[in-house]
Amino acid sequence: MDTPSRSIPGTQAVARAARLLRLVTASGEEGAGLQELAHSADLSRSTAHRLLSALRVEGLVDRDEESGKWMPGPELFLMGSVAAARYDITALARDIVRSLAVKTEESAFLSVRRADETVCLLREEGSFPIRSFVLSEGVRFPLGVASAGLAILSFLPDHDVDAYLERHPELSERWGRTHRSDPLRTRLAETKERGYAINPGLIVEGSWGMGAAVFDRSGARSGR
C-alpha cells in the first residue's frame, strides 16, 4: 500500500491520532501507559493525553482506571469486525500457519504489509519449550526490520526500496547499526537471491527468525 500523503492540509491531528491508535492496538491486552505512547508517537505527554481522551470519548480507546493503561476500545472492535469481511485473510492462512508450527515445532506467524510497516495477524505456537515473544498479533515493525519486513521489502522494485530508505533515515537510530542503508541493502540482496529472509537475532539477541514473501497465482507480490 502507498503511504498516505502528509502534505494534505489539516491532517496532522488525524495522523497523530491514527499513530496512537496503532500503538494502543499493538500493545494488546496489557495496554500501554501514557508516557510510553507519547514517546513512541513522538508527542508530548499533554498532546498524547488530549488525543487519547478524545479517542476515548468516541469509544476507539479505553483506559483501565487501576493501571492507567490505554487499551483498544469497543468501537474499534466493531469497526474491525466490519473491515474484516473485506481484508481478513486469516481464515485462508490459519491452517497453513498452524501446519508450519506443528512441523517445525517453532512459533509461526503471518504478517501483512501496511504502508511502511508489517503487522502480525496470526501467531501459532510450536511445541518447542523455548518460545519467542518478540512477535504477536497486532505487533508492527518497519519494513526491513524482522524477517517478514525484510522478505517483503526485498521483493519490492528498486525505486520503491530507494524511496522507502529515504523516508526512514531513523531506522539505524532505533534498530541499530545493522539497519543502516548499506548493511540493510546487503541483506535485501541476499534475501532476494536466497528466496527467503533470515533475521539472526538483530532485534532480540538469540531470537532468530525466517520469513518468506507470499505471491499470488500470477507470481505478483501480494504484500504478505
pLDDT in tens, 64-118: 998 999 999 999 888 877 766 666 677 788 899 999 999 988 889 999 888 888 9
Average pLDDT over residues 36-46: 92
Q: Determine the Cα–Cα distance for residues 185 and 170; give it in Å rounded to an integer.
A: 15
Rounded percentage of the chain residues whose pLDDT exceeds 90: 43
Q: What is the pLDDT of residues 106-163, one digit of tens each?
A: 889 999 888 888 988 888 887 776 666 667 788 889 999 989 999 999 999 999 999 9
On the question of pLDDT at 17 being above 50, the answer is yes
Residue-range domains of the chain with CATH? 12-80 (1.10.10.10), 88-211 (3.30.450.40)
- What is the predicted pLDDT for the residue at 188? 95
- Decide: residue 22, CB within 10 A, 0-12 exposed, 13-18 middle, 19+ buried: middle
For residues 49 and 58, the answer to whether their CB atoms sit within 8 Å is no
Average pLDDT over residues 11-27: 88
Which 3 state secondary structure label does DSSP give 200? strand
Q: Residues 6 or more apart from 149 whose CB is under 8 A from it? A: 111, 117, 118, 141, 142, 143, 211
